[in-house]
Amino acid sequence: MSDTFNPLEGSALKAICLQYPDVSELLRAQLATATIAERENTGSGFFTHFRVDHTLPRLSGNRVLDGPWFDVRELSLPMCFLLFVNDGYADCLEGASTGEDDTRLIDFSRVQFSLHE
Protein backbone atom coordinates (compact mmCIF):
# COMPACT_ATOMS: atom_id res chain seq x y z
CA MET A 1 0.00 0.00 0.00
CA SER A 2 1.28 3.43 -0.91
CA ASP A 3 1.83 6.02 1.82
CA THR A 4 0.52 8.78 -0.46
CA PHE A 5 -2.82 9.60 -2.02
CA ASN A 6 -3.56 8.08 -5.42
CA PRO A 7 -4.62 10.40 -8.29
CA LEU A 8 -8.36 10.01 -7.64
CA GLU A 9 -7.99 10.68 -3.91
CA GLY A 10 -5.64 13.60 -4.52
CA SER A 11 -8.00 15.18 -7.05
CA ALA A 12 -10.97 14.83 -4.71
CA LEU A 13 -9.02 16.38 -1.82
CA LYS A 14 -7.78 19.25 -3.98
CA ALA A 15 -11.35 19.97 -5.08
CA ILE A 16 -12.58 19.88 -1.47
CA CYS A 17 -9.92 22.41 -0.47
CA LEU A 18 -11.09 24.70 -3.28
CA GLN A 19 -14.73 24.35 -2.18
CA TYR A 20 -13.96 25.54 1.37
CA PRO A 21 -11.82 28.69 1.07
CA ASP A 22 -12.34 29.54 4.76
CA VAL A 23 -10.40 26.41 5.83
CA SER A 24 -8.46 25.69 2.65
CA GLU A 25 -5.08 26.76 4.01
CA LEU A 26 -5.47 24.65 7.17
CA LEU A 27 -6.67 21.65 5.17
CA ARG A 28 -3.84 21.89 2.66
CA ALA A 29 -1.27 22.08 5.46
CA GLN A 30 -2.75 19.03 7.17
CA LEU A 31 -3.09 17.00 3.97
CA ALA A 32 0.51 17.77 2.99
CA THR A 33 1.60 15.71 6.02
CA ALA A 34 -0.82 12.81 5.46
CA THR A 35 0.25 9.19 5.50
CA ILE A 36 -2.19 6.46 4.55
CA ALA A 37 -3.25 4.23 7.43
CA GLU A 38 -5.76 1.99 5.64
CA ARG A 39 -7.73 1.69 2.41
CA GLU A 40 -11.03 -0.17 2.45
CA ASN A 41 -13.02 -1.03 -0.68
CA THR A 42 -16.56 -1.59 0.60
CA GLY A 43 -18.15 -2.86 -2.59
CA SER A 44 -20.05 0.40 -2.97
CA GLY A 45 -17.02 2.70 -2.89
CA PHE A 46 -14.08 3.14 -0.57
CA PHE A 47 -12.73 4.71 2.59
CA THR A 48 -9.17 5.99 2.78
CA HIS A 49 -8.09 6.48 6.39
CA PHE A 50 -4.99 8.59 6.97
CA ARG A 51 -2.99 10.36 9.65
CA VAL A 52 -1.92 14.00 9.62
CA ASP A 53 0.46 15.96 11.83
CA HIS A 54 -1.46 16.82 15.01
CA THR A 55 0.94 19.62 15.92
CA LEU A 56 -0.58 21.70 13.10
CA PRO A 57 -3.48 24.08 13.76
CA ARG A 58 -6.91 22.46 13.90
CA LEU A 59 -10.14 23.17 12.11
CA SER A 60 -13.02 23.79 14.47
CA GLY A 61 -14.70 20.64 15.78
CA ASN A 62 -15.96 17.62 13.90
CA ARG A 63 -17.40 18.01 10.43
CA VAL A 64 -18.03 16.31 7.13
CA LEU A 65 -17.06 18.32 4.06
CA ASP A 66 -18.99 17.61 0.87
CA GLY A 67 -16.71 17.11 -2.06
CA PRO A 68 -16.83 16.79 -5.81
CA TRP A 69 -18.47 14.20 -8.00
CA PHE A 70 -16.28 12.30 -10.44
CA ASP A 71 -17.17 10.11 -13.39
CA VAL A 72 -15.11 6.94 -13.07
CA ARG A 73 -14.78 4.91 -16.24
CA GLU A 74 -15.53 1.59 -14.52
CA LEU A 75 -18.79 2.85 -12.96
CA SER A 76 -22.17 3.48 -14.57
CA LEU A 77 -22.92 6.53 -12.39
CA PRO A 78 -20.67 9.16 -10.76
CA MET A 79 -18.96 8.86 -7.38
CA CYS A 80 -19.41 11.44 -4.65
CA PHE A 81 -16.71 12.29 -2.12
CA LEU A 82 -16.75 13.31 1.55
CA LEU A 83 -13.88 14.37 3.80
CA PHE A 84 -14.27 13.57 7.49
CA VAL A 85 -12.68 15.89 10.05
CA ASN A 86 -12.46 14.63 13.65
CA ASP A 87 -11.21 16.75 16.55
CA GLY A 88 -10.13 19.36 14.01
CA TYR A 89 -8.01 17.05 11.86
CA ALA A 90 -8.80 15.54 8.46
CA ASP A 91 -8.67 11.76 8.80
CA CYS A 92 -10.82 9.96 6.23
CA LEU A 93 -11.89 10.35 2.62
CA GLU A 94 -14.97 8.49 1.42
CA GLY A 95 -15.65 7.83 -2.25
CA ALA A 96 -19.19 6.51 -2.69
CA SER A 97 -20.62 4.93 -5.79
CA THR A 98 -24.08 6.29 -6.54
CA GLY A 99 -25.10 3.32 -8.66
CA GLU A 100 -25.53 -0.42 -8.23
CA ASP A 101 -22.01 -1.27 -9.41
CA ASP A 102 -19.91 -3.59 -7.24
CA THR A 103 -16.61 -1.80 -6.64
CA ARG A 104 -14.74 -4.66 -4.97
CA LEU A 105 -12.80 -5.57 -8.12
CA ILE A 106 -11.93 -1.96 -9.02
CA ASP A 107 -8.40 -0.76 -8.35
CA PHE A 108 -9.10 2.89 -7.56
CA SER A 109 -5.40 3.71 -7.78
CA ARG A 110 -5.52 3.04 -11.54
CA VAL A 111 -8.96 4.27 -12.66
CA GLN A 112 -9.59 6.87 -15.32
CA PHE A 113 -11.80 9.66 -14.03
CA SER A 114 -13.03 13.16 -14.75
CA LEU A 115 -14.92 15.82 -12.87
CA HIS A 116 -18.66 15.23 -13.27
CA GLU A 117 -20.48 18.11 -14.92
pLDDT value of residue 3: 83
**CA angle 88-11-51, nearest 5°?**
35
Within-domain flag for 97 = yes
Question: Looking at the domain assignment, is residue 2 inside a domain?
Answer: no
User: Residue type for 108, please?
Assistant: F
From residue 43, how far is each of 37, 50, 54, 81 by CA, in Å? 19, 20, 31, 15
Q: What is the pLDDT of residue 1?
A: 52
Q: What's the pTM value of the predicted model, to 2 decimals?
A: 0.95
Query: In this predicted structure, what is the pLDDT of residue 117?
Result: 86
Q: Can you give the residue range of the structural domain that contains 77?
A: 7-115
Report the C-alpha gap between 108 and 91 in whole angstroms. 19
Number of domains into which the chain is organized: 1
Does any domain span residue 30?
yes
Average pLDDT by consecutive 10-residue portion of the chain (117 residues)?
Answer: 88 98 97 98 98 97 96 97 98 97 96 95
Task: Tell me the β-bridge partners of 69.
Answer: 80
Report if residue 60 sits inside a domain: yes
Closest CA relative to residue 83, chosen from 4, 24, 3: 24
